[in-house]
């Protein structure tokens, strides 16, 4: 488990029109804002797609020991700007707090998404606890 001040490896992903449309069909949300270009720009990336990619399990460096599980316990989200189809997004995952409660380790991870123009899109602060496997405790 990473400790306060450490970070998971950043993730980059491109949301193409096809990728976004496949997601829209999967969640059955075909609202025009996600499918049509307007004066504001290309269609918006579905908000839930961005949430999915801001989970720390998406980081290329995320790892759990055999028999362990990460359980999400709390989530706070702030949307800052719409993500637009055709952009590449970068997600950073910073561990901003670690603590122990009732014998369980907790980790608070702040995920920030920006697009390839450095426009802030989403900030997500998520608390996770871990169960099973070896756990040496927090010093």
Give per-residue pLDDT as tens, 66-86: 888 999 999 999 999 999 999
Contact present, 87 and 115 (Cβ < 8 Å): yes
Give per-residue pLDDT as tens, 91-110: 999 999 999 999 889 999 99
State the Cα–Cα distance between residues 45 and 29, nearest whole angstrom.
12
Q: What is the share, in percent, of the chain residues with pLDDT greater than 70? A: 95
Picking from 51, 42, 56, the residue whose alpha carbon sits closest to that of residue 23 is 51
Q: What is the pLDDT of residue 66?
A: 84
- The domain 7-131 having CATH identifier 3.30.43.10: the answer here is no
């Amino acid at each position: 488990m990473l400790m306060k001040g450490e970070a998971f490896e950043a993730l980059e992903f491109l949301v193409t029109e096809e990728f976004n449309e496949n997601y829209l069909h999967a969640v059955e949300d075909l609202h025009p804002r996600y499918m049509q270009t307007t004066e504001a720009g290309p269609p918006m990336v579905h908000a839930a797609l961005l949430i999915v990619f801001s989970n720390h399990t998406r980081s290329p460096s995320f790892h759990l020991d055999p028999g362990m599980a990460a359980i999400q316990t709390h989530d706070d989200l702030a949307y800052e700007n719409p993500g637009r189809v055709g952009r590449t997004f970068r997600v950073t995952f910073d561990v901003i707090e670690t603590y122990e409660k009732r014998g369980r380790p907790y980790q608070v991870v702040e995920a920030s998404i920006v697009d390839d123009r450095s426009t802030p899109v989403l900030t997500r602060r998520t608390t996770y606890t871990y169960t099973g496997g070896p756990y040496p405790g927090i010093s």
